[in-house]
Amino acid sequence: MTIQATTLIDLHTHSTESDGSCTPTQVLELAERQNLGAVALTDHDTTAGVDEFLTAAEGRSIIAIPGVEISTTFERREVHIVGLFIDHKSSDLNNFLKKIADGRHERNQGIIAKLQARGYDITLKEAAEQAGGDIVGRPHIAKTLLNKGGFESMNDVFDRLLKRGRPGYVARPLTSPPEAIAQIHGAGGVAVWAHPIFRQAGEYPWCRKAIKYLKRHGLDALEVYYSSFNEEQSNALIDYAVEFDLGMSGGSDFHGDNHESTIGIGNGGLRVPFEFYEQLLVRAEKYR
């Protein structure tokens, strides 16, 4: 397969197997329509859609990359670690993800109980019907409430009920970044810190401090291009990647109808070069 140097890629997408609205096959087809050279499926805390995703890529001109996105916590902030080029059938990795899924289920039960106590007509079964896959998350709960009326949008549901500090919010126990990184490496993949910057107070010094910590525990790369990043944010992360000898990644964080982001181009300005794929693939070789 010959790929042009100018070809773009997307290394961060989600399907109906976690909290996206498109099936793994549809994710692949949308990426191909955007003329992407490669696309990774990185569903939250599950590899359930990867078989379908890889099968859909057979005979096509696009490279399909098996991946996962694992939610962790460091210094009271969520840190999402994306694994790329993983062996999605690894029993150790999938047992690890199963424990995370169990924690997510307990959290969902708590959210539903809080909402019901406030008079909202909603059940966990209804939210699960919105999910379509094994992973049920807050977006599915939000969509259930939106469909029942009384809210203007998914964002409205989150702002009023489901965000941190709101009446329906329930924290969930998260694993540590080193454990997630170790599991990804054990499954033959590279570990990428997804969307490291979120415009919080003191973000850049904290981000650099976290990178130093994560690098010591095996972090391979930073997501330097992301749907909501501006040029200043991307340039800062590129500088960090160079300083700490980390690879670079990028992606739309595509969720279909559940988020405002288009596969391959994010909010319109995303441009992730094919060379990122090539460089990350080389870094993955040491874990094989």
User: pLDDT tens, position by position, for the chain (288 residues)?
Assistant: 445 546 999 999 999 998 888 999 999 999 999 999 999 999 999 999 999 999 999 999 999 999 999 999 999 888 999 999 999 999 999 999 999 988 888 999 999 999 999 999 999 999 988 876 667 888 889 999 999 999 999 899 999 999 989 999 998 889 999 999 999 999 999 999 999 997 665 689 999 999 999 999 999 999 999 999 999 999 999 999 999 999 999 999 999 886 778 999 999 999 999 999 999 999 999 999
Q: Is residue 268 part of a domain?
A: yes
Tokens 């300083």 belong to 243
Gap between the Cα atoms of 205 and 194, Å rounded: 17
Q: Is residue 138 part of a domain?
A: no
Q: Is residue 2 part of a domain?
A: no
Task: Quote the number of domains for the chain.
Answer: 1
8 Å CB contact between 81 and 210: no
8 Å CB contact between 191 and 181: yes
Q: Which domain holds residue 218?
A: 8-97+188-287
For residue 19, CA distances in Å to 13, 22, 76 come to 10, 9, 23
**CATH at 17:** 3.20.20.140
Q: Is residue 179 part of a domain?
A: no
Query: Closest Cα partner for 174 from 67, 42, 49, 81?
Result: 81
Q: Is residue 40 part of a domain?
A: yes
Q: Is residue 128 part of a domain?
A: no
Q: Is residue 142 part of a domain?
A: no
